[in-house]
Amino acid sequence: KNEVEQSPQNLTAQEGEFITINCSYSVGISALHWLQQHPGGGIVSLFMLSSGKKKHGRLIATINIQEKHSSLHITASHPRDSAVYICAVPPYSGGSNYKLTFGKGTLLTVNP
Amino acid sequence: GAGVSQSPSNKVTEKGKDVELRCDPISGHTALYWYRQSLGQGLEFLIYFQGNSAPDKSGLPSDRFSAERTGGSVSTLTIQRTQQEDSAVYLCASSLVLAKNIQYFGAGTRLSVL
């Protein structure tokens, strides 16, 4: 089973700050997922990436396959970004990509 | 439909009773996933359906849990003889093709076993 660690567990920021959330995993993979879970519980898939960098609006996700590490960045953070951010990985590269192992999540609070 | 639909949104039951949770995936999505999120725990994989293939049930925590998918669309997760440790949010997701597309999640069913 792939072990996933996220840091920090909790993050409080002021509106406008640049945010970084980190995810490390133990076994090489082919793709990594970033998810966002709002206080109401709904989950939105933000990114699925296998190399390099992806950008969507103010969100940027990067991955270093060799170092088994991914980061999620939020530029110009806003209170509506307040949520739990979760990374998820398959068991191993070429393995069953649906058997995701999820990190415990990072609770982000952005204050106005 | 517009998104993944799950029902009921909340379910309170007594220990020992059976419950059924329903998931209606996005139209045309062939892959369907069930996950569980227990209080204080991360998400965990339960079961996966892909088209007409046999489902992967390896994530189901006990034989009290079962799931089926009728006609390649709607799925039902059944928990028999519920226990208090079954209390959790049960999430369903669907995607176009396994591992090649982002998963779209439903809002979940919050199950409370008293």
E-assigned strand segments in B5-80? 5-7, 10-13, 19-24, 31-37, 43-50, 65-69, 75-79
Nearest-Cα distance to chain A for B33, in Å, is: 8
pLDDT of residue B78: 98
Residue of A nearest to B49 (CA): A98
Contact B42 A31 (CB under 8 A): no
Among candidates B42, B93, B98 on the partner chain, residue whose Cβ is nearest the Cβ of A102: B42
- How large a percentage of chain A has pLDDT more than 90? 66
Residue type present at position B61:
P
| φ/ψ of residue B86, rounded to 5 | -80, -10
Greatest mean pLDDT among A97-106, B42-51, B75-84: B75-84
What is the per-residue pLDDT across A23-75, written as a single tens digit (0 to 9) for each?
A: 999 887 778 999 999 887 788 889 988 889 999 999 999 999 899 999 999 99
How confident is the model at residue A111, as a pLDDT? 97
Inter-residue contact B96 to B28 (CB < 8 Å): yes
| Whole-number percent of chain B with pLDDT over 90 | 67
In chain B, pLDDT over 70 holds for what percent of residues?
A: 96
**Pairing, β B104-105 against β B43-50:** unpaired
Q: What is the pLDDT of residue B100?
A: 59
How far is the C-alpha of B59 from the C-alpha of B65, rounded, in Å?
A: 10
> What was the pLDDT predicted at B113?
97
Distance from CA of A7 to the nearest CA of B (A): 14
Highest average pLDDT, of A21-35, B50-64, B77-91, comes from B77-91
All residues at 6 or more sequence positions from B108 whose CB lies less than 8 Å from its CB, including other chains: A41, A42, A43, B6, B9, B37, B89, B90, B91, B92
Which residues of chain A does B41 touch, with a Cβ-Cβ cutoff of 8 Å? 104
To the nearest whole number, what is the mean pLDDT of chain A? Answer: 91
Mean pLDDT score across all residues of chain B: 91
Grade residue A93 by pLDDT with cuts at 50, 70 and 90.
low
CB spacing of B48 vs A41 below 8 angstroms: no
Contacts for B10 with CB less than 8 Å, ≥ 6 apart = B109, B110, B112
CB nearest B107 (choices: A35, A42, A90):
A42
B86-111: average pLDDT: 86
